[in-house]
Structure 1
Amino acid sequence: MPCQGRVRAVAGRAANLVHMTSSAITASGLRKAYKDKVVLDGIDLDVPTGTIFSLLGPNGAGKTTAVNVLTTLMTADAGTIRVAGHDVATDTKAVRAAIGVTGQFAAVDDLLSGRENLQLIADLKRLRPAESKQIVTDLLERFDLTESAQKLASTYSGGMRRKLDLAMTLVGKPSIIFLDEPTTGLDPRSRRTMWEIIRQLVADGVTIFLTTQYLEEADRLADKIAVLDGGKIVAQGTPAELKRQIPGSHVRLRFATDLDLDTAARILTDATRDDEDDLVLRAPSDGSAKSVRDLLTQLDTNSLDVEEFSVHTPDLDDVFLALTGKTNTKVSA
């Protein structure tokens, strides 16, 4: 739609500010302590421009402190941090102009309508009347809030409030957005709607720094994940890379006959028989394409046909448990 195109153009122009560097956010040796308690113990971060980066960790790991430092709400004790190409310590104003922050709870004014909430932010940003009107109208349409624009925010559902909150963040045309648990409390349909909005923002060139209590959300959205525990980054990589670090990955191979199964078992000495299916072997594998290809080639060389196969890898719950020792699948930020 035309107005969606205009909003995307606005986001694109904002993103150009960051595209001058390949990294939207970098931190080296970031350290923060409260008296004798070290909360962040020299962490390093690198968030590529135009990607979704998710920071995970158990309660007390230091995630909120990290976000507060990156968004200039708190001063680091040591380390070098650059956001949108600007030094957080010496160029705070420029950093704040480039970022948007959406907290865990929707920061909307219940006594104002949806349109008035957006207009309030536009006035605080000192936008020109014509520009302000256009941006507010475009954002209401993009977030499917046009029909309820004149209704008080107090009448909005949880999903509508979260959408309005994110729309208010976009009034300032941020090139980097920090999302703190953006889907907490939302029903599955509203959560998926928010995921789509986040993906659209990234497609427009915006960088997303995400903290979430849903591991599935990080798995589906994030290009890169860092796991923070005890003030240190204990693992970092794509969701697939993190899963491959955890033992338990295997290829499930199903054969047509017992003879084929027995022959394959002699060839694949590390494979084990499946307790639930007499014709299935489980062969250890890191889940990578090369590993699976090598395995199938080995069977093909011995003239063995696999009737069907599937790759099974640990999920992020397994990763989180292995790295932090915590079993909770909901990870507070």
Structure 2
Amino acid sequence: MEHDNTENNPADWLKAELEDTLDEDFELEMSEPALSLELRQMFKQAHSDTIDRRVYFTELLRLQSELIKLQDWVAKTKQKIVVIFEGRDSAGKGGVIKRITQRLNPRIVRVVALPAPSDREKTQWYFQRYVPHLPAGGEIVLFDRSWYNRAGVERVMEFATPHQVEDFFHDVPEFERMLIRSDIKVIKYWFSITDEEQQLRFLMRIHDPMKQWKLSPMDLQSRVRWEQYTKAKEDMFARTSIPEAPWYIVKGNDKKRARLNCIDHLLGLLPYEPVPHEEITLPERVFNPHYEREILPEELFVPEKY
């Protein structure tokens, strides 16, 4: 019987992982016939100096292996960590969250992406619907948008009154200090892209049938109100970047660099250490000479089309 040596040779394992992974460049080339050649060229020209694909995946895999060490340390030491991801629509928040969680245990590292508040939730204390999702000991929670909706979309689209917005700015520093006093580490990232880059990404989504679901009426309005969002963002930074939980800005025009930079920075903020593990050995299979495997009906099996 031949044995797969990739698990014994890190270089072979890395090569196999690189060959097994597709990124947006491949997706762009091989799919979406509706995507015009002109739009493809615009995308390539705008990102002509992007990081080399092999370098990107090599670094991503290295950082993901460190995230596994972080996960083990969080679980063992019962850390409680909140990471907030904010930014303009299409800024790349979802992409970095996907790469962070890709190889981690969803019981330890989970994503919270809340929908618009219900009528009942609108009558509650503003932070109330976020509190049940905060981490217990041994958990990391990644908020794909957060209570900062009030400082951004709710303010710009006038879903919140000026008085409600002002109350939020008054309350949020103390709310986050309360979390920190409860031994919850709060980390806040803002993904920053240019006006031109957002326009290009929206055009890609409009003309890409596989990504049109990502566009909502609110996203389209964010183009119209670009300058209002800019002013709201600057006000938010000025009033909510506290020493205990400062804002960190990730330059997001290059998605690949943004992902690597964000993950690397996140790892650098936390004093994790390798956790010793007992050596894992596969137990021997128990064979019963009198056991006969039951023949299952054919209709239970998924048809093998491929």
The TM-score normalised by the length of structure 2 is 0.29
The TM-score normalised by the length of structure 1 is 0.27
More strand by share: 1
More helix by share: 2
